Amino acid sequence: MRRFAALITTFAAIAVLVGCTPTVKAEAPWTYPPAVADPAGAPSTSTPGGVLGTIKISAADLSFSPSMITVAEAGAYKVELTNTGAIQHNVTFADGTVVVAEAGQSASGVVTIPAAGMNFTCSIPGHAAAGMTGMVSVGSMPMGSSMPGMPGATATPGGSAAGAPVEDPNAPAYVLRDAAAPAVMPGTVHDIDLPIIETDITVAKGFVVHAWTFGGTVPGPVIRVHLGDTVRVHLTNQGSMSHSIDFHASETAMNHQMVEIKPGATWTYTFKANYAGVWMYHCGTAPALHHIANGMFGMVIVEPKGGLPKVDEEFALVQSEWYLGNQKEPVDYTKAASGAPAPDFVVFNGIANQYKDNPVQVTSGGRVRVFILDAGPSIDSSFHVVGTIFDTVIKEGVALRPGNAGGYGAQAVDLSPAQAAIIEFSPVEDGMYPFVTHAFNFVVRGAIGIFSAGDGDPNN
């Protein structure tokens, strides 16, 4: 996402270490020779407990440079980690050695490399799957070989991408989310507490995700204000990793307010609602895909000048996807990052089939308004309510209104991730009016609900 400087350096090239000595054997079958540990100034190898050299690693967002390192012999090495990224990173070796560096800082530690070599990763959730992996080998390594957890190895990060998740019959029942849109907040200046909370959420019958959330729910709370209002959102990170927030309803430089909020830290994000519409907010910490896919998103509604006309019912629906890992773990980043995404569930307001199991009551012949947002992170929406025609659609500021000269209506509203709309219609009679994304492969994965008009029976 171009709004985050943290993503600019995601695909940094592998660089040779400054001050390296040529200990790579001439016959090593590398197309590009790996970097080599630097023995300059290191104690003699005969010194008890001494280090043999220095391994220098640079961490960016989201890569290590170099990621392939060769040392001349097994033994203890000093590790120098320089974090050039915008968020905290670490280098975690397979033996449990961890070196942590904050953004823009350096840190060091000592690791013992065995004769078989050792792999390393950044252990912050999602970072290894996004490419923060590396390897230290001793001497030279045959072309095409790999270590567990490295690209080309048979091990699967998280143990989940190799197969479908398994339903747990003992999983807690899901908590039904009220689909009703909240009222407009009174006043012109709003102070909103939005804690960042990690919590287990049942996202479908038998499936639990350890979600990262704004306010403890997925999606986060709906914020509804008037055009021109000032919004101050107070965030406290109660989780175990860094997060951030981006309000699409705001106008601010990405390096001003979209900052890293470390565990235990607080931050106040302030903006003036200068444009009406339905807007997305989300975490933008790298990899943003992982943070959004794991639940960190929500909706802002900004009323236009003069407000919206009164209707009988209003609802707020957010379409999103779940890419399941193991039970009670975060989503599987590898699945979410696929170029041809295949989510396990596509849902409205965080939970598969919740409004099919619990139909939403509307007034027969009444006026229904739906605020609909596609939070993605990757799948489009074709929002459709079976048995109705939309006479009002305001999509990204472009409006279809009742009584237009051509007599036009709409059957579905197409939304790409981060797009939203306001839709209005009137159920003509008692009965059931399913709402879906008209991509029916996702309807069977949970993207369906029902508006029940009147008593739900058209024959009464």
Tell me which residues of the chain have a pLDDT lower than 50. Answer: 1-32, 40-48, 141-162
CA distance 353 to 182: 22
Residue 364: what are its φ and ψ, rounded to 5°? -65, 125
Q: Which of 326, 243, 221 is nearest to 291 (CA)?
A: 243
**Length of the chain as a residue count:** 460
Q: What is the 3-state secondary structure (H, E, C) of 4-22?
A: CHHHCCCCCCCCCCCCCCC
263, amino acid identity: P
**DSSP labels, 351-376:** BTTHHHHSPEEE-TTS-EEEEEEEEE
CA distance 326 to 331: 8
What number of CA atoms fall less than 13 Å from residue 209's CA on the CB side?
29
Strand 68-71 to 133-138 pairing: parallel
User: 403 CB contacts (<8 Å, ≥6 apart)?
Assistant: none
**DSSP labels, 407-434:** ---BS-EEE-TT-EEEEEE---SSEEEE
This prediction has a pTM of 0.79
In which residue are the tokens 């959420």 written? Answer: 201
User: 354 CB contacts (<8 Å, ≥6 apart)?
Assistant: 174, 176, 177, 347, 348, 449
**DSSP labels, 390-412:** BSEEEETTEEE-TT-TT---BS-
- So what's the pLDDT on residue 85? 85
Q: How far is CA 273 from CA 189, 228, 254, 456, in A?
A: 10, 5, 17, 39
Q: How far is CA 25 from CA 21, 28, 33, 34, 76, in A?
A: 11, 5, 10, 11, 20
